[in-house]
Structure 1
C-alpha cells in the first residue's frame, strides 16, 4: 500500500515534535537528534521533520511505495507528467535505505517517490565524508544529474554537495 509523504524543515525540532505529537496523538516512529518521523495510518501519511539548517517550511512532498514494482509504476506516471525524473538507487537518506525517483512540478515543488529497503544509522551517506548543507536528501532536481549506479550517497556528485 502506498503512503503520502510530507517532509518539513523546522527551526525548533523539540517544539515541532511536541506540536506534531499532540496534533497526531502519537509519538514519532523515528526520533533522532535532527529528525523525527510519524508513520500514521489515519490519515495514511509518512510525515517527517528535520532541523538541518534549511529554511523552515515544506521541503518536499512524495509517495512512499511498498515495493520496487510500485516505484516503477509511479516512475512511468512521473515520465508521463513531463518533468525531469532523477533516479537514486540504493541511497541512504533520512535514516533509511531507499530507491528513489525525484522530480519537480511546474511550480518547482520537489516530489520524492521512494521504496524503503532498510534502516540506516545516519541522516545521509555523505554525512561523515563531506561537508553538506544538510540538503542532500532533498536535492535540487533541476541542478543534478542521475548518480552513477553503485554509489550510495543520496546526492549526486554533480549537485555540489560532496
Structure 2
C-alpha cells in the first residue's frame, strides 16, 4: 500500500486570535522568524463557503498573518477575530494539509470521497492572500480540514484591483467592489 500522504508538503494550522499584532509578536518570538504575510485590511475572507447546514459561513478578516516554517515544516496562520466574533468562534479556525499540486488535491479528494467522507471542493479560489485549489472535509467533531495547493500569492492591492476589474467587467462597479475582493471564497 502506498503512502496516501506522500505528497503533503506541510501540515496547516489556522488559529483565531483577538489581536493580530499581539499574536504576531508572540509567534515571532516563539518561532524566531517574521511572518511571510501580515496584513491589516478586509481584502480576504475565509473560504469555507457553507457550513454543514448549508449556511454561508464566509467572514471578512480584519487581520491576517502567515508563518511558513521549514523546521518544523508548518503552514501556520493567524486570523484576527475581534470582540464577540472571537468568543463565538473559539481559537481553532481549521486544520489542513498543503500539497504540491492540483493533481495532488484531486487525488486526495477522490481517495477521501471513495472512503465515504463528504467533501466540498473549491477550485481556483482567492483565499488567504493566494489563489488556491482545495477541498474541505469535516471530522466527526466538526473540525474542518482543508487540503490545498497555492497557485499564486496575492497582495491586498492585487485583490482590490481584481475586485475592481471584475466589477467593471460586469458593469456593476460600485464603491463596495473592493470590499467584495474575495466574494467567491475564504478564514483557513
Same fold (TM > 0.5): yes
Corresponding residue of 1:10? 17
2:180 to 129, 144, 147: 129
Unaligned 5+ segments in structure 1 are: 131-135, 137-151, 156-162
For the pair 1:79 / 2:113, whether they are aligned, the reply is yes
Match of 1:109 among 143, 158, 175: 143
**Alpha-carbon RMSD:** 2.4
User: Counting helix residues as a fraction of each chain, which structure ranks higher?
Assistant: 2
TM-score by length of 1: 0.74
Shift of 1:14: 0.9
SS in 1 for 2:142: coil
- TM, length-normalised to structure 2: 0.64
Structure with larger Rg: 2
Give the CA deviation at 1:127. Answer: 6.3
- After TM superposition, where is structure 1 displaced by more than 6 Å over at least 4 residues in a row? 123-127
Which structure exhibits the higher relative contact order, with contacts defined as CA atoms closer than 8 Å and separated by 6 or more residues?
2
What 5-or-longer segments of structure 2 have no aligned partner? 1-7, 41-62, 164-176
| Separation in structure 2 between the aligned mates of residue 77 and residue 44 of structure 1, nearest angstrom | 24
Kindly tell me the number of residue pairs found equivalent between the two proteins. 135
